[in-house]
Chains A and B, each alone.
Chain A
Amino acid sequence: MTSLVLSTATRFLLPLMLLFSLFLLLRGHNDPGGGFVGGLVAATGFVLYALAYGVEAAQRVLRVHPRVLIAIGLLCALGSGALACMSGQPFLTGLWSGYEIPVLGKVGTPLVFDVGVYVMVVGVTLLIIFSLAEE
């Protein structure tokens, strides 16, 4: 089943949704948003693509296997926690850089953790949905 409307709209929607997911990710520290919601929105974009063009096409657009995303996300999150350990603080303590970056504000390990969550949520959601779609 292919729908011209859906497949045309998806071409525009996927990049928009990815941008929106990044916005949610960066906004998340003090406001509603964060890695989890951002990751879900990004995953939804790819699922939409899979609905319009098929799972294989979506996997091509994603370029890497969702499993790799899970691993990278997990390592990111663990790494952000381990950074605190190296400076003698308990695991997962937030460390902040001293100066502000224009758009992002102060950057610290919680952002790295959130990026890890984001990547991992994309990976897990897509792994589940792709394998369900292939059933």
Chain B
Amino acid sequence: MATLLAFVIGGLYAAGLYLMMRRNLVKLILGLVLLSNGANLLLFTMAGLTPAQPPLIPPGASRLSTSAADPLPQALILTAIVIGFGIIAFLLVLVHRTVHAVGTDDLDAVRTTDT
């Protein structure tokens, strides 16, 4: 399972980077989405894939049962997803405005501030 996920992660990174190297602003966003999801999946995989219970303390008990999953990566992924969501929302607005200001979604046209 971990090997399969490793290939999926690799595929997501590759597809994300490939999309970002196209000359289209919308593909740039899609590439970033794929890339950040690849990173989230990597966090998930790296913490170890084990068949386990949800990390909830049963009523009456005072600690997690030993068969529970590690809750930390889940918290990390949730945080990363939320941050990614906020940034992608901002990026959408930014690209929308940029396309209006530049008049095209071609990345090669976005070069007037380069040196």
Contact A132 B93 (CB under 8 A): yes
B93 x A131 contact (CB < 8 A): yes
- Which of B56, B78, B92, B93 has a CB less than 8 Å from the CB of A31? B56
Q: Which residue of B lies closest to A127 (CB)?
A: B89
Q: Is B103 an interface residue (CB 8 A)?
A: no
Chain B CB within 8 A of A77 CB: no
Report A-chain residues with C-beta under 8 Å of the C-beta of B86. 124, 128
Q: Which B residues fall within an 8 A CB radius of A?
A: 54, 56-57, 59, 78, 82, 86, 89, 92-93, 96
- Give the Cβ gap from B80 to chain A, nearest Cβ, in Å: 14
Separation of A128 and B89 alpha carbons in the complex (Å): 7
Write out the residue numbers on chain A whose beta carbons fall within 8 Å of the beta carbon of B82. 36
Interface string of A45-62 (1 = CB under 8 A from B): 000000000000000000
Picked from A30, A124, A132, the residue with its CB within 8 Å of the CB of B92 is: A132
**Which residues A14-45 have CB closer than 8 A to chain B?**
30-32, 36
User: Chain B's nearest CB lies how many Å from the CB of A47?
Assistant: 13
CA distance A36 to B78 in the complex (A): 10
**Chain B hits for A30, CB < 8 A:** 56-57, 59
Q: Which residues of B contact A100 (CB under 8 A)?
A: none
Minimum distance in angstroms from B9 CB to a CB of chain A: 26
B residues near A132, Cβ cutoff 8 Å: 89, 92-93
- The CA of A129 and the CA of B107, in the complex, are separated in Å by 26
Do A135 and B56 touch (CB < 8 A)? no
17 A-B interface contacts by CB (under 8 A): A30-B56, A30-B57, A30-B59, A31-B56, A32-B54, A32-B56, A36-B78, A36-B82, A124-B86, A128-B86, A128-B89, A131-B93, A132-B89, A132-B92, A132-B93, A135-B93, A135-B96
Point out the residues of chain B lying under 8 angstroms from A124, CB to CB.
86
User: Roughly how many angstroms separate A135 CA and B86 CA in the complex, as a whole number?
Assistant: 17
Q: Mark A100-135, 1 if CB is under 8 A from B, else 0.
A: 000000000000000000000000100010011001
**A31–B82 alpha-carbon span in the complex (Å):** 20
